[in-house]
Structure formats: C-alpha cells, structure tokens
Structure 1
Amino acid sequence: MREFWIIFKHAFLSKAKTKSFVITTAIMIAGIFLFANISKIIDTVQTMTGGGDDEQVLYVVDESGQLADRLTLQLSGMKVEQSSESKEALIEKLTSEEIDSVLTLAVDSQGVIEAEYTTMSLMDFAIPMQIQEALQSIQTEMKAEELSLNGEQVQTLFTPIQFEQKNVSPSAKSEDELNQARVLVYVLMFVIYLSVIMYSSMIAMDVANEKSSRVMEILISSVSPVKHMFAKVLGIGSLGIVQILIYGLAGFVALKTSATEVPGGFGDFFSFSDLNVGTLIYAAVFFLLGYFLYATLAALLGSLVSRVEDVQQMIMPMTLLIVAAFIIAMTGLGNPEIGYLKYASYFPFFAPLVMFLRVGMLDLPMWEPLLSIAIMLVTIFVLGWFGARVYKGGVLMYGPSRSLKDIKKAIQLGKE
C-alpha cells in the first residue's frame, strides 16, 4: 500500500501545485464574490462616474391637455416636464442629445389614450414599461369617471379569483419545494457535469503524458499498473472534491458577507429553507459515483494513447455519453415525470444526472434511487476490473492509437 499512497499523493499534489489549477481556482473564487456583490459594484461605478445622480427628464407634448398632470402624479420617481414646443422641435433636440426622451400624448374620439415614446437609447426598456403602466392606470381612471364608478367599484373589477392547485400524485412536491429543488438540482447538475468532464479528462491527459515522457516505464517497474490506475483516479478525484468544497465555502462566505440585499428576490430564491437535506446527500452520492464511473473509463482510454494530442479523440465517446446524460436531464427540469427519464435513470452512464434530477424534484420511493445506485456500483466494479486488465497492457503500448480496437490488443499484452 505504500506505493499506492505515494502515487496518490503525487497525483494530488502535482495537479494542485500547477499554475493552471491555482489561477483557475482564484478566478472562480473572485467570480463568486464579484457575482454576489454585482449590484453594489454597479452602484459604486455609477456614483464615481456621475451616472447615478443624473435624473432623466421626460418631455411631454400633451395634445389632449388633460393627461400631463395625471402622468406627473403617476411617475413619482421621474421628472416630467410639459413642453409647449412642437413635437418636431423636441425631436430635433433629442437627435442632438440636448434632451433624453419625448412623449406625445393624445386621446381619440372613443376616449382611448394614444402615446408615442421617442428616445435615442438602444437599451431603454424599463422607462417605457413604467410609462405604459402609468398610462394604463390613467386610462382606467378615465373610463371609471365616464361610467360614474367610484374607487371601490373600480377595485371590484380587478378582484383576483381564488385559484389553488393541488397534486395528488404520490411523487409530487409542494410548489415552494419544487421551485427550490429545481434551482438546486439545476446548479448541482452543472457541478456534476462539469466536474466529471474536467477531472476525467485530467486523468486521461495525465496518463497519456506519463506515457509520452516514458515516465510510465519507470513507474510500472516498481508498482503494479492496477495500483497505479486506482491511485491516480482517487488522487485526482480527491483534488476535485477539495476544489468543489473551496468553491462552496467561497459561495457561502460571499452570500453571508455580500453588501447586496435583494429582499423577496434573489436571496429568497436561493434560501433553500424548506429543502430536504436528503437532496444534498444524493447530490454528493451521485457526484462520487459519477466521477468514479467516468474516471475509471477515462483512465482506461488514456492508457491506450501514446501522445497527449490523441487523448481528446480517444475520450470523445465518453464525452458524448456525459453530454447526452446532461441533455436528457435538462429536458426533465420542466417535467421530471416524463416517461423516458425513468428508464434513463437506471442506465449507469446517465444515472448520475438523470436519477439525481428525479430524486431531487420528486418524492420517489426509496428503492428507485437505491436500485440506480446499486446498478452504478456494479458497473463501476465491472468497469474497474475490466479497466485494470486494459490498463495493465495499455500502459505498455506505444505508437499511434487507431481506435477502441486497441482495447483487445491491450488485454492480450497485459496477459503476457
């Protein structure tokens, strides 16, 4: 076991000390803190540049003579200035950037408000919507006055109905639980997907690099190829877990120390206060199983190539499996009860994402995730046994790698 732990330690530390790993981790942590404080940063930049203190002035041409004053009361957060100039004159000032925006108001013969908003800004979306809502309220008031309705009678016209949705399916969750589960499952699916791709590829690249530099010949003379394979899988896997924990800790600290407060919005959406802790446990279980499944396959494929340049081509079938699993799982975010998801969740290469999606968003009977986990464990065992045989001969193979047909040659070489 001494040789095993030496290789394990080397695989862990050699990758942890690389500049790419350190820089990537630092950039991700900085990005997490930046994202958590993005609103505060935008406000600070606007204050420093003077953009946040400028109040936009809306110039109004009121052809009806009865809407400008009402609009001023409705748009309390915006300065409204009624102009005596013509619309054409104001448009000329607008094009020369002397003013910000122009609003022309009129009332047709049926008492319907006609409005035209003109601006030079390509990204002006919020203000037109605010003006439209204000004018809609004025339109309602005018129609109420025309029909001699008081305020209480107008309110009764907009009384919402009492509508309650219930789901009697044994696998259904409440709406709040489902919304929170959907967010968490979406985030963790990305974590599992990206981690499996990144760390599995890292293993295949590391094995191919050792072969191309002839270091492999020295290693296998003192330790068995089987020990070498599993020590490398566990070493890089442990590094991946540490990196994810660092990201998780950084995210927790960023949210707790964030200077941005969004009441009833983003913070509440990511509170997960009513979420079952079992979802997080399943996320950890399926992440570990998915990693070891694909990492073993990556080590097997990486042992068949002699050049680092051939790694991506050799692991392409494995990458397609991960991508297919991710696409299938994503289609179930809106409706996790789709029939094909149930069958896909028992396929071992799809289970890490698809079964986690189902168990996170549905109240499944215990035997379903346990059966999927058991199938994955058996697959990992079989793949590990088969992969060890291929790896034993594959690390001794040199020359151009043609295809997956080299697996047979690696097994025969391993027997010798």
Structure 2
Amino acid sequence: MNNGFWTVVGFTVKNKFRGKAFLITTIIIAIILSVVINLPYLFSKFSGEDKPTAVGYLDSAQEQLSSQMFTSTGIAALLDEYYQKQEKPEIKMVAIPDAGSEEANEKALKQAVSDEKVDGYLEFKAATDGGFPSVVYKSEALLDTGSTRSLQAALLSIKNEAVLTGVGLSDELKQVLQAPVVIDSVQISTSDGAGSVGQGKTASQQAMDIGLVYVILFMLFMAIMITGQMIASEITAEKSSRVMEILITSVSPLKGMFGKIFGMFLVGLTQISVYIIVIIVNMTLPHNLDTLKDMNISLSEVDPVLLVYAIIFYLLGYFLFATMFAAVGSIVSRTEDLGQAVLPITMLSLAGFYICMFGGLNNPNTMLIKVASFIPFFSPYAMVTRLGLSNPPYWQVWLSIAALAVSIVIVGWLAAKIYRAGVLMYGKRPSIRELRKAMRAYKG
C-alpha cells in the first residue's frame, strides 16, 4: 500500500522538478520578489530622492532693509537654518538674485527651474495685517506633496519660534512648549494568561506582526492557487492523454490522488521555501535594514507563537483546498475546461483572502472576521489574521483548527469517492446525477 503511494509521490516530485516551466517560473517569481522588496531603494537612487530638494527664493536686497517682522528673504534664511540642523536635510534653499521687477523676477525663477538649478521656488505674498505672509510653492511636478508638507512643517516651526520670542518667553519655557507629546501604543490582553494567545505587544511588535501577517496571507494564497492549479491540471492532463488508465492498473485511485496531493505539497513547499529565503536575504540587506530601523521594526521581534500557528493553518488550509482541486481535476477530461471547473474553489480562496486583506488588517475584531475564523474555507486566512493582530482565546483557536481538520476528513472522503469515479469517466464533464451513480457503482 505504502509503496504505491510513495511511488506516485516520487514520480510527481521528479516530474515537476525536471520541468523547465517550473524552474523558470520559480526563478522569475524570485526575481520579481527581489525587485519589489528593493523597489523603494531603487527609486530613491534613480530618482535622486536621497538628495535634498532644491527650492529657490528671491533674494531681495530691498527687503533686508524693511522693518516688517516677516520678509521673504528673512523667512528663507530661517528655512535654510532649519534644514541645515537636520541630519539628512530634505530641502536645500537656493537664492535667486533680484532682477529688478516682479515680471523679471518671475521669469528668473522659472528660468532657474528650467535650467535645473532648483526643483521649485517659493513665492511670498505679504499679509495686510503685517503678520505671517501666505506662501506658494511652485514646481513642474504634479502634486509635489512631499516637499509641500516638509515646507509647511518648517514654516510652522519658524512662525511659532518667532511668536514665542516676540512675547518674551525664556528658552526653557519655549523648549517645554515645543517639546512633542509622546504617546506609545501597546496592545493588551483582557483575558488571563491561560486563556488567550499573547500578553500584549508594543508598537514595534505590532508593526512586525502586521508585516508578518501580510506576508503569510500572500504566501498561503499563492500556495493554494499555484499548487492547487498544478494538482488539477496534472490530473486532467493524465486523464486526457489516457495515462490515467495505465496508472490505475498499478496504483489504486485513492493512493494516486493522495500521492499526487502530497507530492505537489512537497513541490509547493520547496517553491515557497525558496521565496522565503529570497525575502529574508533581501530584507537583511543593509539599506533595507536601515529602512526597517527607521520604521522601528526589528526582525528579531517576530512572534514564534504566530509562526507556529501560521504553519499549522498553512498545512491544514493547503490540504483542504488540494483535495477539492484533485476532485475537480478528476472529473474534467479536457484541460480547456479546467479553468471554468475550478472557478468556484478559486473564488472561495479569493473570498477568504479579500476578507482579511481589506477588512481584517484594519480591524481584526469585527464580527465578520470572527465568524470567518470558524468557517473552514476562510479560517486559514482569518484566524492567522486574528492571531497576529489581536489576542483570541485559546479555545477559539483550537476550535477553528478542529473544525478545519474535520472538514479535511469529510472533504477528503468525498473527494476520494469523486476521484475514484471521475478518473474513469471520459468525454464531457459528467453531471452530478451521473457522478453519483458512478460513485455508488465503483467499489474498488
């Protein structure tokens, strides 16, 4: 019995590993993952985002003699001082000489942008009440929100500093007034230590868990879709080429189905392992580690409990959907009809993925996510989301695991019966009535 099973497993694994399509696809996806992970760094290098944005302003000698509190030249000088204090200045102020008239000045500023001396320039309009002037940032870039936000924060700081100095506050009082209010976010557990998973997480741990849940959901979805499709297409191809008739003479249909499922599991596990190694290697590159450090995220804070449960739900979710894909593949005689046949299974997996990606990541404690975590087709996604982003009680986690395990047994038994009957049915896709008759008639 076991010899036939392992023969199918070995044949399936070797057949896939020897195929050029599998190797090429794995390499291409690994390259895409590497590019995506390093995309922000590549953008910063090629777009020059690591250099400060050059912002021009009109350097008017006449304004320097003005008695007004806020002049454009004075504000620009304060902006330059503000950004020079930064470790990595976002903006560099560039003085453009006064051309003598408003029209000539506008032309000179635009020419500086055209000559790429500056990326944009500031235009000041004096306030009628002698207060802080209104400021306009002009550039060729569409919706240059990054530079605008940075300039807005700097101008607000300069304005507050000037006002506080004007009312005669001491440096000590100004520091107290300008010091930011620090508030930390800590996730807590309202259940006792024996009744919930985890005992609260800091902001950095929460950020790490959100990223980990995001990766796990994508990996699970990819594993189900890619490996499930491979199982269904392999079975359908063998059936359409009449290889199935030879296989069932030496291996029972039941061994053939579960051998193919387990063989594809090993293939998919190898593929996923390659992707995980690629992700880890790229994430540990110096520039990516610096980015994670700036975001207060440390790879050492990965929750081992979450990883263990993620592996459990990954395995259970895979085998549940794999048996369904195998059953559907066995009743399809032509590979052209396979896409339509597996569409309902694909939609089930897609629904679970979307529920968590667009609902669970923002609020894992909604009733929808809680209910979905007990529905076997959705629980591999939903319960992993709850485990990573909240503290569900242990009994709920293990109830979800038990429901998923029971579903695998039921669906596996039904899939085995469908597979035994379906592999010998050729021609058009059989109706439910025909399939039921064949399942009752087949006793082998």
Q: Among 101, 116, 122, which residue is 1:103 paired with? A: 122
Aligned position for 1:27: 28
Amino acid at match of 2:399: L
Structure 2 residue 190 is matched with structure 1 residue 169: yes
Aligned position for 2:270: 242
CA distance in 2, matches of 1:164, 1:52: 29
Aligned position for 1:325: 352
Q: 1:46 to 1:68 in 2, by over 3 A?
A: closer
Task: Say if 1:393 and 1:410, in contact at 8 Å, map to a contact too.
Answer: yes
Length-normalised TM-score, structure 1: 0.88
| 1:284-328 Cα distance to aligned partner (Å, 9 max, x none) | 111111010000011001111111111111111111111121222
The residue correspondences of 1:164-313 to structure 2 (distance < 5 A) are 167=188, 169-170=190-191, 171=196, 173-176=200-203, 177-258=205-286, 260-262=288-290, 265=293, 268-269=296-297, 271-313=298-340
Aligned position for 1:394: 422
Aligned position for 1:67: 75
Task: Give the drift of 1:34.
Answer: 3.6
Task: Give the drift of 1:37.
Answer: 4.6
Q: Among 42, 45, 56, which residue is 1:58 paired with? A: 56
Q: 1:133 to 1:161 in 2, by over 3 A?
A: closer
Amino acid at match of 1:80: V
Task: Give the drift of 1:214.
Answer: 1.3
Q: 1:259 to 1:146 in 2, by over 3 A?
A: closer
Secondary structure of the structure 1 residue equivalent to 2:427: coil
Secondary structure of the structure 2 residue equivalent to 1:56: strand
The residue correspondences of 1:349-388 to structure 2 (distance < 5 A) are 349-388=377-416
Task: Give the drift of 1:68.
Answer: 3.1
| 1:46-95 Cα distance to aligned partner (Å, 9 max, x none) | 79xxx988983523366635323323322334142043124533443526
Structure 2 residue 172 is matched with structure 1 residue 152: yes
| 1:309-363 Cα distance to aligned partner (Å, 9 max, x none) | 1111111111111112122223122222222322321211111111222223333
Secondary structure of the structure 2 residue equivalent to 1:220: helix
Q: Among 319, 341, 350, which residue is 1:314 paired with? A: 341
Task: Say if 1:58 and 1:102, in contact at 8 Å, map to a contact too.
Answer: yes
Worse overlay, 360-369 or 330-339: 360-369
Secondary structure of the structure 1 residue equivalent to 2:301: coil
Worse overlay, 241-250 or 31-40: 31-40
CA distance in 1, matches of 2:401, 2:347: 22
* Runs of 5+ unmatched residues, structure 1: none
Worse overlay, 6-15 or 400-409: 400-409
Task: Give the drift of 1:227.
Answer: 0.8
Aligned position for 2:13: 12
Cα RMSD between the aligned structures?
2.9
CA distance in 2, matches of 1:364, 1:278: 13
| 1:9-31 Cα distance to aligned partner (Å, 9 max, x none) | 12112222222221222123323
Amino acid at match of 1:74: Y
CA distance in 1, matches of 2:102, 2:437: 83
Task: Say if 2:240 and 2:334, in contact at 8 Å, map to a contact too.
Answer: yes
* Runs of 5+ unmatched residues, structure 2: 64-70
Aligned position for 1:83: 97
| 1:200-227 Cα distance to aligned partner (Å, 9 max, x none) | 1111111111111111111112211111
Q: State how many pairs are aligned.
A: 412
